[in-house]
């Protein structure tokens, strides 16, 4: 038969164990939170910016070129005098497209043989979406493209 | 899903005999362990775990190549979230680990717990102390500031004083004739690969021996009162550990780590000194010729390693005169004097 | 001390540690706020490929030999008034216009001011670059220099 004091003893023991467990877990959690924040990269925010990319005359007539900037890769194409800008990153898995004008496509992705046309639409292959299109402005012989950019990550 | 069912599931798959599990927990420890003097056994291990944790975190950002190393340490200390905190703990805990190992060594020495049959425990213990010094030396070299670079140059130059093998050993350590990018890679590898492995092997051997022998009884102590390891001693060690952790964290908050000037291979700074735990050797080497300094240091380390036998020999030489305690204490005091002298100059 | 009270002691110490971790959080937040102030804002200029070209011009003409890699300074110039060192370039955007910078690069600094007038002549001075750098290269170089910013946590100069 349990006496009242035995019950009280058990409860006091349980409380002490509980206090210990809760305090311990919270503190462990505190350290874990700090260390996780340390490891999680400091990703700079994205900003929409108009960036000078290339001189107008460097894009051949009815031709295309891929420009690699520190903050992105831009595919430019001249279609009967109109300059169009796309992201040069294949929408499938991130490889860079190349200019490869043929009868059915102009951009080719070597990784999984994705093909895009002059409007950035997928002609064949696995890419799920058309190429991202960027607004273009040509001023004083320079081509400006409006991109979403991030500052490059800080590193040693 | 009762607790008993879970326990049974586990016991079937990890068949540890229940006695083997219960024995270390139920172990009865002599009550002389209840004093604070005996709290220092577990603290080096606690600090080792802290160093491994913070060290691993640091390796996510540290780059072991000259100049990049400095920049990565700068990034950690000033740019990254909680970088100052992780690095600060790593620095502060390394100093405290040193102190903890030293205090433990002194306690074991003073109580002559290295007496037979515990000599090997002592040998492993001193080896752990030497590895700790190795950690400290290689660790600081990785920052690649002026102190790092020149301390590495001087420290590795010591090796070349060894007759015959000196030069090849030096080239091996440095990965070349001068301090070069290979040197940094080697020091890094020692710090995060070789020495942690050595340390773990040694500590397992050390603790296994302590558990197997049981805690050394105090000399002349006939009082055999005991208390259980779990939960009494565990709680005691947890309290001590938490106090130390708290001290470290508060210290780092109040005094966050900084950074010296970048290493310049063309300029030895006017006031160059190693870290405080190397002061005794540093002062000694300033006083005596290099060869003398080298060989006396070797003798000193060897006598530390083999102290149980030296002590036993001294006891046979002059029974009851406690020559071992006298000479050993003289050695500790001499080292302390060198340390203080260097610190004050 | 009974086992139970020891448990409460350990729990209390744990919570003290937790509180300390909280302080760590606010200290870190403060540091980051300071850090964000020194971060250069992201502008189209910062992404200019011209800056990459300017960086190459800087290296091509050996500017880093005296002004330090990336213009951080730190190269000794005994008795120079600029702190005994060749001046760094991280703050030129604050004190020079583009035209002034072009002039400086073209003409160099034939006489470096002495820190101690009775002391020795500083060994390093800047030669004129007008016959070496011009046109597009000069513009690229100046754009690069104007984009330099001081970094967070510049090490204080200590004995070592």
Residue B134 lies inside a defined structural domain of this protein: yes
The mean per-residue pLDDT over the stretch A44-62 comes to 87
Question: Do A17 and A92 lie in a common domain?
Answer: no
What is the rounded CA–CA span in Å between residue C140 and residue C59?
A: 12
Q: Which of C14, C24, C153 sits opposite B85 (nearest CB)?
A: C24
Contacts of A101 (CB under 8 A, 6+ apart): A63, A64
Pick the residue from chain A with its C-alpha nearest to B82: A38
Q: Assess whether A36 and A107 both reside in one domain.
A: no
A16 lies in a domain? yes
Q: Within a domain: residue A96?
A: yes
Residue B19 has pLDDT above 90, yes or no: no
The CATH number assigned to the domain holding A82 equals 2.102.10.10
Q: Please, what is the angle between helix B323-344 and helix B307-317, to 10°?
A: 130
Give me the mean pLDDT over the C29-40 stretch: 83
Question: For the residues A93-117, what does the mean pLDDT come to?
Answer: 94
CB A146 within 8 A of CB A49: yes
Cβ neighbours of residue B254 under 8 Å, at least 6 residues apart?
A: none
Of the pLDDT bands very low, low, confident and very high (cuts 50, 70, 90), residue C35 is confident
**CB–CB contact A35 B63 (8 Å):** no
Both A52 and A30 in one domain: the answer is no
Q: What are the C-alpha distances in Å from A60 to residues A64, A66, A77, A137?
A: 7, 12, 8, 17
Q: Whose structure tokens read 């910062």?
A: C46
Share of chain A above pLDDT 70, in %: 96
pLDDT value of position B203: 95
B15 lies in some domain: no
Residue B179 pLDDT > 70: yes
d(CA A85, CA A134): 5
A36 with A52, same domain: the answer is no
Residues in A touching B80 (Cβ below 8 Å): 38, 42
Mean pLDDT of C118-126: 84
Residue A149, SS3?
strand
Eight-class DSSP state of A120 = S
User: Does B240 touch chain C if contact means CB atoms closer than 8 Å?
Assistant: no
Distance CA C39, CA C44 (A): 15
Task: Assess whether pLDDT exceeds 60 at residue A2.
Answer: no
Cα B156 to Cα B59: distance, rounded to the nearest angstrom: 24
Q: Examine residue A154 and state whether it is found in any structural domain, yes or no.
A: no
CB contact under 8 A, A38 and B72: no
Per-residue pLDDT tens digits for A133-153: 999 999 888 899 999 888 777
Distance of residue B183 Cα from the nearest chain A Cα, in angstroms:
19
pLDDT at B24 over 50: yes
Report C:24-43 residues touching A (Cβ under 8 A): 24-25, 42-43
Nearest CA in chain C to A25: C14
At residue B227, the pLDDT reads: 75
- Looking at chain B, the whole-number percentage of residues with pLDDT higher than 70 is 97
Flag whether pLDDT at C52 surpasses 60.
yes
Residue C157 has a pLDDT of: 38
Total number of domains in chain A = 2
Q: What pLDDT is recorded for position B33?
A: 73
CB contact at 8 A, A90 and A111: yes
Looking at residue A8, its pLDDT comes to 77
CA distances to B65, B66, C5 from B170, rounded to whole Å, are: 20, 19, 56
How far the first Cα of chain A sits from its last, in Å, is 70
- Indicate whether A155 belongs to any domain: no
Residue C71's alpha-carbon distances to B229, C89, C151, in angstroms, are 61, 5, 11
Whole-angstrom distance, CA of residue C20 vs CA of residue C77: 46
Instruction: State mean pLDDT over A61-76.
Output: 89
Nearest to C61 by CA among C148, C150, C128: C128
- Give the residue, A127 or C38, on which the prediction is more confident: A127
Is position A18 within any domain?
yes
CB contact (8 A) between residue B150 and residue C160:
yes
For residue B106, tell me if it sits in a domain. Answer: yes
Confidence of residue C156 (pLDDT cuts 50, 70, 90): very low
Q: Are B124 and B118 spatial neighbours (Cβ–Cβ below 8 Å)?
A: no
Instruction: Identify all chain C residues contacting B253, using CB atoms and an 8 Å cutoff.
Output: 20, 23-24, 27
Chain mean position to CA C96: 16
Say yes or no for a CB contact (<8 Å) between C14 and A50: no
Q: Specify whether A12 is located in the same domain as A68.
A: no
B317 or A88: which carries more pLDDT confidence? Answer: A88
Q: What is the mean pLDDT of residues B103-121?
A: 90
B 124-153: CB under 8 A from C: 145-147, 150
User: From the CB of residue B186, how many other CB atoms can be counted at a distance below 10 Å?
Assistant: 20
Tokens of A96: 């860079």
Q: Which pLDDT belongs to residue B129?
A: 95
The mean-pLDDT minimum among B196-200, C19-23, C133-137 falls in: C133-137
Asked whether the ipTM of the predicted complex exceeds the cut of 0.95, the reply is: no
CATH number assigned to the domain comprising residue B202: 1.20.810.10
Q: Which residues contact A85 (CB under 8 A, 6 or more apart)?
A: A53, A74, A75, A76, A133, A134, A135, A136, A143, A145
Q: What is the DSSP letter of A76?
A: E
Q: Is A22 part of any domain?
A: yes
* Domain annotation covers residue B197: yes
Among C84, C125, C122, CA closest to C108? C125
CB B144 within 8 A of CB B262: yes
Token code pair at residue A152? 């490059």
For residues B72, B76, B77, B79, the Cα torsion angle rounded to the nearest 10 degrees is 100
Confidence at residue C128, expressed as pLDDT on a 0 to 100 scale = 86
Asked if A16 and A70 sit in the same domain, the reply is: no
Confidence grade of residue B220 (pLDDT, cut at 50, 70, 90): low
| CA B250 centroid distance within chain | 22
Residue C44: its chain A contacts at CB < 8 A?
Answer: 49-52
Indicate the pairing of strand A107-109 with strand A114-116: antiparallel
CB contact under 8 A, A40 and B81: yes
Confidence of residue C49 (pLDDT cuts 50, 70, 90): low
CB crowding B76-102: b at 16 or more within 10 Å, else e: bbbbbbbbbbbbbbbbbbbbbbbebbb
pTM above 0.95, yes or no: no
Domain of B62 in residue numbering reads as 28-217+227-272
- Quick one: pLDDT at residue B223? 64
pLDDT at residue number B261: 87
Q: At what angle do helices B83-110 and B43-59 cross, to 10 degrees?
A: 150
Partners of residue B81 in chain A, C-beta under 8 Å: 37-38, 40, 42
Neighbour-count burial of B222, counting CB atoms closer than 10 A to its CB (0-12 exposed, 13-18 middle, 19+ buried)? exposed
- In this prediction, residue B209 carries a pLDDT of 92
pLDDT tens digits along B264-283: 888 888 878 888 888 898 88
Structure tokens at A131: 């190429």
Q: B242: closest CA among B252, B250, B230? A: B250
**Cβ separation B261–C157 shorter than 8 A:** yes
Residues in C whose CB is inside 8 Å of some CB of B read 3, 6-7, 9-10, 13-14, 16-17, 20-21, 23-24, 27-28, 31-32, 35, 69, 74, 76, 151-153, 155-160
Split at pLDDT 50, 70, 90, the class of A29 is very high
Q: What pLDDT score was predicted for residue C159?
A: 30
| Cβ neighbours, 10 Å, residue A56 | 14
Q: How many CB pairs under 8 A join B and C?
A: 88
Q: Is residue A29 part of a domain?
A: yes
Cβ–Cβ contact B24 with C under 8 A: no
Give the containing element (helix H, strand E) for A83. strand A82-87
Which residue's entry shows tokens 């744990």?
Answer: C14
Taking Cα atoms as reference points, which of B183, B202, B73, B197 lies closest to residue B128? B202
Q: Which domain holds residue A121?
A: 47-149
Please enumerate in sequence order all residues whose Cβ is within 8 A of that of A129, keeping only pairs 6 or more positions apart, or say none: A91, A122
Angle subtended at Cα C92 by Cα C91 and Cα C97, rounded to the nearest 5 degrees = 140
Q: Which pLDDT score is estimated for C82?
A: 83
Q: How many domains does chain B have?
A: 1
H helices within B214-321, ranges in order?
234-254, 279-287, 290-305, 307-317
Query: For residue B222, what pLDDT is reported?
Result: 65
Which pLDDT value is given to residue C48? 62
Between the alpha carbon of residue C13 and those of residues A32, B88, B94, C8, the distances in Å are 18, 21, 22, 9
C-alpha A56/C-alpha A82 separation (Å) is 11
d(CA A39, CA B117): 47
- Contacting residues of C for B243, CB less than 8 Å apart: 13
- Which tops the pLDDT comparison, A109 or A3? A109
CB contacts of B57 in chain A (<8 Å) are 35, 38-39
B309: phi then psi, degrees, rounded to nearest 5: -75, -35
Nearest CB neighbour to A156, from listed B63, B82, B86: B63
Q: Are residues A7 and A25 in the same domain?
A: yes
End-to-end CA separation in angstroms for chain C: 51
Among B274-288, C1-15, C43-57, which is the least confidently predicted range? C43-57
Residue from the list C17, C153, C158 with its beta carbon closest to the beta carbon of B74? C153
Record: contact A35-B82, CB cut-off 8 A: yes
d(CA A98, CA A75): 8
- Are A71 and A143 part of one and the same domain? yes
Q: Enumerate residues 177 to 196 of chain B having a beta carbon within 8 A of any beta carbon in chain C.
A: none
Which residues in chain B have their CB less than 8 angstroms from residue C34's CB? none
- CB distance B250–C9 less than 8 Å? no
Contacts of B68 in chain A (CB under 8 A): 156
Picking from C18, C43, C44, the nearest residue to A30 by CB comes out as C18
The answer, yes or no, to whether residue C65 has pLDDT greater than 80, is no
Mean pLDDT of all residues in C63-83:
80
d(CA B160, CA B156): 7
- Name the residue among B313, B311, B308 with its Cα closest to residue B324: B311
What are the chain C neighbours of A33 within 8 Å (beta carbons)? Answer: 21
């Amino acid at each position: 038969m349990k006496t009242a004091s035995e019950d009280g003893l058990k409860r006091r023991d349980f409380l002490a164990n509980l206090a210990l467990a809760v305090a311990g877990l919270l503190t462990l959690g505190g350290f874990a939170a700090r260390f996780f924040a340390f490891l999680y990269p400091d990703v700079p925010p994205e900003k929409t910016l108009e960036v000078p990319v290339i001189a107008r005359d460097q894009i051949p007539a009815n031709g295309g070129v891929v420009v690699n900037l520190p903050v992105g890769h831009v595919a430019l194409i001249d279609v009967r005098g109109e300059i169009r800008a796309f992201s040069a990153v294949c929408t499938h898995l991130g490889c860079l497209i190349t200019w490869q004008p043929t009868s059915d496509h102009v951009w080719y992705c070597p990784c999984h043989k994705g093909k895009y046309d002059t409007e950035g639409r997928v002609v064949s292959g696995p890419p799920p979406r058309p190429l991202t299109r960027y607004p273009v402005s040509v001023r004083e012989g320079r081509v400006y493209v409006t991109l979403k950019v991030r500052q490059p990550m800080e590193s040693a | 899903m009762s607790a008993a069912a879970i326990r049974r599931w586990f016991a079937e798959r990890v068949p540890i005999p229940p006695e083997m599990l219960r024995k270390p927990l139920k172990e009865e420890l002599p009550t002389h362990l209840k004093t604070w003097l005996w709290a220092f056994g577990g603290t080096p291990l606690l600090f080792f775990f802290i160093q491994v944790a913070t060290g691993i975190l640091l390796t996510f950002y540290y780059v072991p190549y000259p100049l990049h190393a400095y920049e990565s340490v700068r990034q950690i200390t000033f740019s990254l979230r909680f970088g100052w905190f992780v690095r600060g703990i790593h620095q502060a805990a390394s100093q405290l680990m040193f102190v903890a190992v030293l205090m433990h060594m002194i306690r074991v020495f003073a109580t002559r717990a290295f007496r037979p049959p515990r000599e090997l425990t002592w040998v492993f213990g001193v080896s752990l102390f030497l590895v700790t010094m190795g950690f400290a030396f290689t660790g600081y070299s990785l920052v690649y500031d002026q102190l790092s670079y020149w301390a590495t140059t001087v420290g590795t130059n010591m090796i070349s004083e060894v007759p015959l093998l000196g030069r090849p050993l030096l080239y091996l350590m440095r990965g070349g004739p001068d301090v070069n990018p290979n040197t940094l890679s080697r020091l890094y590898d020692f710090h995060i690969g070789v020495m942690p492995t050595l340390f773990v092997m040694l500590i397992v051997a050390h603790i296994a021996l302590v558990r197997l022998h049981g805690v050394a009884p105090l000399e002349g102590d006939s009082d055999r009162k005991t208390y259980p390891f779990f939960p009494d001693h565990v709680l005691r060690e947890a309290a001590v550990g938490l106090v130390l952790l708290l001290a470290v964290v508060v210290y780092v908050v109040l005094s966050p780590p900084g950074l010296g000037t970048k290493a310049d291979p063309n300029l030895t700074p006017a006031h160059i000194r190693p870290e405080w735990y190397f002061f005794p050797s540093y002062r000694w080497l300033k006083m005596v010729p290099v060869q003398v300094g080298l060989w006396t240091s070797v003798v000193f380390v060897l006598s530390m390693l083999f102290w149980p036998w030296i002590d036993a020999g001294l006891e046979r030489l002059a029974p009851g005169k406690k020559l071992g305690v006298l000479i050993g204490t003289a050695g500790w005091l001499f080292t302390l004097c060198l340390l203080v002298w260097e610190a004050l100059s | 001390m009974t086992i139970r009270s020891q448990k409460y002691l350990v729990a209390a110490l744990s919570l003290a540690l937790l509180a300390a971790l909280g302080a760590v959080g606010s200290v870190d937040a403060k540091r980051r706020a300071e850090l964000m102030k020194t971060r250069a804002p992201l502008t189209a200029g910062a992404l200019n490929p011209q800056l990459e070209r300017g960086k190459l011009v800087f290296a091509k003409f050996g500017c880093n030999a005296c002004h330090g890699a990336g213009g951080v300074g730190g190269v000794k110039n005994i008795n120079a008034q600029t702190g005994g060192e060749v001046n760094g370039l991280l703050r030129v955007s604050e004190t020079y216009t583009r035209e002034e910078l072009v002039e400086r690069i073209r003409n160099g600094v034939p006489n470096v001011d002495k820190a101690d007038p009775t002391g020795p002549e500083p060994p390093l001075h800047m030669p004129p670059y007008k016959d070496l750098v011009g046109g597009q290269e000069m513009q690229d170089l100046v754009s690069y220099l104007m984009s330099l910013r001081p970094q967070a946590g510049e090490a204080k100069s200590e004995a070592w």
